[in-house]
Amino acid sequence: MQKITTYLWFDDQAEEAVALYTSVFKDSRITDVQRFGDAGPGPKGSVMVMRFELAGQEFIALNGGPEFTFNESVSLYVDCTSQQEVDELWEKLTADGGQEGPCGWLKDRFGLSWQIIPRILTDLLADKDPARSERVMKAMFTMKKIDIQALQAAYNRATPPNAPR
């Protein structure tokens, strides 16, 4: 068991959310399900807690009721290796009521925030040439889903010789 595990509080959609998440990410599985008994507080036999893994990372989902909801102050960051991976994850996580956000952020239909970020974005932003990294940053600010080809075009665009740096 890992030392620190992300714990996600749902109203009553933990089972549906875990089914979605484990279907979206490779190397994912449900590892345990605990159900409410006679003592409640949920209906007897309904899911109370689910332990699951996404890409080998352990999570716990709780059906805790409507007292707490997700917000953007916490998000799950997904390091993507290709545009195809970005596109697939974006489509699956925004389906059925998910919401696109700026700069690679989205909310799934349960309100959980995700950052779907291609690794090359981090590499381009870290370039030692401030003009190049600034062009990449400006391009990213115009996007919802990150477009690797557009980032590379911004990165490769030549800076005019007399332009301020």
Range of the domain at 81: 75-156
Kindly state whether residues 57 and 116 are assigned to the same domain. no
Determine the pLDDT at residue 1: 72
100-105 long-range contacts, Cβ below 8 Å, gap at least 24?
100/144, 100/145, 101/72, 101/144, 102/141, 102/143, 102/144, 103/140, 103/141, 103/143, 103/144, 103/146, 104/140, 104/143, 104/144, 104/145, 104/146, 105/72, 105/75
- Look up the CATH number of the domain holding residue 105: 3.10.180.10
Kindly state whether residues 80 and 135 are assigned to the same domain. yes
pLDDT over 70 at 164, yes or no:
no
- Look up the CATH number of the domain holding residue 50: 3.30.720.100
Kindly state whether residues 25 and 54 are assigned to the same domain. yes
Determine the pLDDT at residue 2: 86
The answer to whether position 164 is within a domain reads no
Report pLDDT digits (tens) over 56-105.
Answer: 999 999 999 999 999 999 999 999 999 999 999 999 999 999 999 999 99
Kindly state whether residues 46 and 99 are assigned to the same domain. no
pLDDT over 80 at 106, yes or no:
yes
Kindly state whether residues 85 and 147 are assigned to the same domain. yes
Cα–Cα dist 122/138, whole Å: 14
User: What percentage of residues in the chain have a pLDDT greater than 90?
Assistant: 92
The answer to whether position 42 is within a domain reads yes
Determine the pLDDT at residue 5: 96
Kindly state whether residues 16 and 55 are assigned to the same domain. yes
Kindly state whether residues 79 and 152 are assigned to the same domain. yes
Determine the pLDDT at residue 165: 46
Q: What is the mean pLDDT of the chain?
A: 94
The answer to whether position 43 is within a domain reads yes
Report pLDDT digits (tens) over 26-52.
Answer: 999 999 999 999 998 999 999 999 999
Structure-token pair, residue 48: 């109370």
Cα–Cα dist 102/33, whole Å: 35
Kindly state whether residues 86 and 150 are assigned to the same domain. yes
